[in-house]
Structure 1
Amino acid sequence: MTDIRRRQLIQSLGAAATLGALGSHPAWAQAAKGDIVIGASQPITGIFSFAGTDMHYGLNDFIAWKNSTGGVAGRKLRYVYEDSGFKLDQGVAIFKKIMAAEKPSFFYGDSTQWAKAVAQDAIASNSILTSSTSLASSMADPVNMPQHFVPGPIYGAMHEILMEYIARTSQGAANKPKIAYVYADTEFGRDGIPAGKARAEKLGLPIVTEIVTKQAGIDVGPEVAKLRRARPDIVIFQGYILAPIPEFVRQMREAGLNSQVMGTAWGLNKPAYDALGAMGESLTGVAPYRYGHETDSPTINTMREFTAKNRPDMKHISMFYVSAWLSGMVFAEVAERCIKANKPLTLPNMKAALESMKDWDSGGVTGLLVDLSKHQIPSGRMYRYDPVKKAMEPASGWIKA
């Protein structure tokens, strides 16, 4: 896409967002008929399959549930997906194939890299709104990524929430808690760290060391030695879903470190807290949504009821499942707002509808009303592992970044 064409598209999107009353147009009559198609490139196999299967189930199950309640303004949602194997070239090919064959209005992808790779084609199509499991800061960009939204707080927001929580819970202490960052040398690992450090500095919280590791195959011994010298009160992990966190914690304890272990989002999922719980350790961190076992959310309750009936072998509703279901909810809400305003499902109209969702009720998936005007949900809640319940339980109220 040329720079001129890109500027024209972005200008048209901005103009659409400023329009007030919505009129009608004869060409829209056909757009008001037929199924609303949601495409997806899901990592059902491959290295991310443990999450990808839940993402697929979450989006599929929301669509099935939504259709059972009447669909969107009387129209059915239709889910078209293929397995990406968490391979970028395969995910991009799936996007192009489904776009050509099915003309979807919405598309769910498997990664930050996927969203970036298809961005220009998605914008040029002028007909698609995308989302994914990614919480990367670069994904919430209404100007350069006008077609995309993040179904939760970006990592920068979560690290700000972490620092706010640490500051609040340490009020009155003789000394501010010393904090160490341990993160992977990947986009996932580095994301959010600058925002967290900036908020820590503002709050007077000392960051005493930063440790950057490879994503896998790590000898944690030398890194634990660095932590022992710094003697942090809190160690925040970023960029890992499980390994090498348990081994870090094991060696930290052997080295005499009693540092509290913290993390964000995907690092707070069942594999992580089960592994640490089995070691007699705890885990604290900021989650973007309520957990699947909580009962004070009508939407979470609906998920449990649906899976109990339709997926009896699913004993645990993961955060990946919740995230994909929530993305489906946003897709449906955007479609409904456009249809009720008698506007076609074009990118400018869908972007305007998305950005009008400033006080949207997610049914308690998030504890605050959802504000998607900046293409992310800028709130989260602190949770701590409860060894008796063997689950993550709330450790704070909902905090807006």
Structure 2
Amino acid sequence: MGLGFGFKGRIVACAMSSLLATIAAPVWAAADIVIGQVAPLTGVIAGTGDEYVAGAHAYFAHVNAKGGVNGRKIRVVVKDDGYKPDQTLALTKEMIAQDNPVALFGFVGTANVLSLVKNKVLSDAGIALLAPYTGSLDLREPMNPNIFHIRASYTDETAKMVEHLHTIGIRKFAVMYQDDAFGKSGLAGAESALAKLGLKAVATGSYDRTKPEEVGAAIKAIEPASPEAIIMVSVNKASSAFIKQLRAAGSRAQLYSISVVNFKELLKNAGEEIVRGVGIAQVMPFPYTPATPVVREFQGLMQQYAPGKVISYASMESFVAAKVLVEALRRAGPEPTREKVLAALEAVRDYDVGGFKIGFGPNNRIGSRFVDITVIGRDGKLLK
């Protein structure tokens, strides 16, 4: 006879082997908490999309390194829509059906998010969308219970810019805007702020969202009116092209942009001499100086988990949003569902992320109305 087991021996050996494997392996491994994000990683605002993904990634990676949320890791499924609303719609539907996220997060673009609202994607899925990168009133009035904003509206931003410029004696305003829901929202905000001061825009000019560098028509509409200040409701490439062409035409109007513009992109595309003095509204804490706890944490975790990625207002904003989402996931408990996460977000009140507060409520989906004004100074530095 050999050294092998008999039939009964083999059964005992298999049973013992199975028992040992059971003891050696964890009895239960928690599934990941899936979050869905659709953002423009290619196309005309790819830089912004990349930054908006990177800031959140740094915080989620930090949380996962510490054991996750209630013992479960966060897994973010990211899809690239190229800033095209039809792609946003298709990819979101696909993601909800295939990946089963408990929440959506960090989408970019007014028209992109409106495509979801118009097609009832969020309400039909019963899912929350936190921190869309847009300040459009069309997504805020009337309140959409599924969308949670952490940034001030474009109306808040343009009102702040108009009020600021009015205090220093400016009376002749013009508005340059992207010809879509995003741009028209900012235009309406500027016109409303001017009306409260008894003023009207002396000129307005727009450009096609698919051709951001073709701003000649906007120049022709605005420059002859000789405005003292121009509010730009536009993306990076359009803003850069507009500034260059406006200065080439001889206009010395003061230029102010809403927060979606990245000053480093203006510097790269238009040059320091041309963009010096341009004002930019901001809706988040200043990310370049560690003056508050959240900025210190942001800078440290970006260096650790997203080395080489850009420190910017966009990455700062998505970092703050990630902190809010993680807090909601904690409150949702060990078995988060779409319904539980939505309810947990609604219950977030005056949540301090580190010197900056976000708060929602049953009748409130606007977490912050903070607006600050910055200016591009000498040596390409952004100044408060």
* TM-score, length-scaled by structure 2: 0.79
Given the alignment, which residue of 281, 284, 287 partners 2:279?
284
- Give, in whole Å, the separation in 2 of the partners of 1:223 and 1:205: 21
1:219-259: per-residue Cα shift (whole Å, max 9, x none)?
Answer: 6566545544422211111123233x344334444544321
Change in Cα spacing, 1:221 to 1:312, as seen in structure 2 (3 Å) is closer
Checking the alignment, whether the CA contact within 8 Å between 1:43 and 1:53 is kept in structure 2 is: yes
Give the SS at the match of 1:267. coil
Aligned: 1:183 with 2:177: yes
- Give, in whole Å, the separation in 2 of the partners of 1:267 and 1:256: 23
- Give, in whole Å, the separation in 1 of the partners of 2:36 and 2:321: 12
Residue 146 of structure 1 corresponds to which residue in structure 2?
145
| Amino acid aligned to 1:361 | D
Residue 324 of structure 2 corresponds to which residue in structure 1?
330
Checking the alignment, whether the CA contact within 8 Å between 1:142 and 1:375 is kept in structure 2 is: no
Aligned: 1:210 with 2:204: yes
Change in Cα spacing, 1:112 to 1:189, as seen in structure 2 (3 Å) is closer
1:287 deviates by: 0.9
Residue 272 of structure 1 corresponds to which residue in structure 2?
266
1:205 deviates by: 4.5
Give the SS at the match of 1:201. helix
Residue 373 of structure 2 corresponds to which residue in structure 1?
382
Give the SS at the match of 2:277. coil
1:26-69: per-residue Cα shift (whole Å, max 9, x none)?
Answer: xxxxxxx6432211223323343222222222222221112234
Residue 306 of structure 1 corresponds to which residue in structure 2?
301
Change in Cα spacing, 1:280 to 1:67, as seen in structure 2 (3 Å) is closer
Residue 356 of structure 1 corresponds to which residue in structure 2?
347
1:184-236: per-residue Cα shift (whole Å, max 9, x none)?
Answer: 22222111222221222213455222223334376656654554442221111
Aligned: 1:44 with 2:41: yes
Checking the alignment, whether the CA contact within 8 Å between 2:55 and 2:317 is kept in structure 1 is: yes
Residue 237 of structure 1 corresponds to which residue in structure 2?
232
Checking the alignment, whether the CA contact within 8 Å between 1:261 and 1:284 is kept in structure 2 is: yes
| Amino acid aligned to 1:289 | M
- Give, in whole Å, the separation in 1 of the partners of 2:241 and 2:43: 24
Alignment of 1:80-91 (within 5 A): 80-91=77-88
Aligned: 1:79 with 2:71: no
1:93-120: per-residue Cα shift (whole Å, max 9, x none)?
Answer: 4323332333211113343344333342
1:351 deviates by: 4.0
Aligned: 1:116 with 2:114: yes
Checking the alignment, whether the CA contact within 8 Å between 2:83 and 2:112 is kept in structure 1 is: no
Unaligned runs of 5+ in 1: 1-32, 395-401
Q: Find the structure with the greater CA-based Rg.
A: 2
- Give, in whole Å, the separation in 1 of the partners of 2:245 and 2:90: 44
1:246-285: per-residue Cα shift (whole Å, max 9, x none)?
Answer: 4433444454432111010112432024535243632102
Given the alignment, which residue of 157, 168, 190 partners 1:196?
190
Checking the alignment, whether the CA contact within 8 Å between 1:105 and 1:129 is kept in structure 2 is: no
Alignment of 1:8-23 (within 5 A): none
Give the SS at the match of 2:148. coil
Aligned residue pairs total 347
Alignment of 1:54-65 (within 5 A): 54-65=51-62
- Give, in whole Å, the separation in 2 of the partners of 1:284 and 1:148: 29
- Give, in whole Å, the separation in 1 of the partners of 2:271 and 2:234: 17
* TM-score, length-scaled by structure 1: 0.76
- Give, in whole Å, the separation in 1 of the partners of 2:95 and 2:223: 52
- Residue identity (%): 23
1:360 deviates by: 1.8
Give the SS at the match of 1:54. helix
Unaligned runs of 5+ in 2: 1-29
After superposition, the CA RMSD in angstroms is 2.9
Change in Cα spacing, 1:122 to 1:271, as seen in structure 2 (3 Å) is same
Alignment of 1:2-13 (within 5 A): none
Change in Cα spacing, 1:97 to 1:230, as seen in structure 2 (3 Å) is closer
Change in Cα spacing, 1:149 to 1:142, as seen in structure 2 (3 Å) is farther
- Give, in whole Å, the separation in 1 of the partners of 2:97 and 2:223: 56
| Amino acid aligned to 1:116 | L
Change in Cα spacing, 1:97 to 1:209, as seen in structure 2 (3 Å) is closer
Change in Cα spacing, 1:198 to 1:49, as seen in structure 2 (3 Å) is closer
Checking the alignment, whether the CA contact within 8 Å between 1:183 and 1:240 is kept in structure 2 is: no
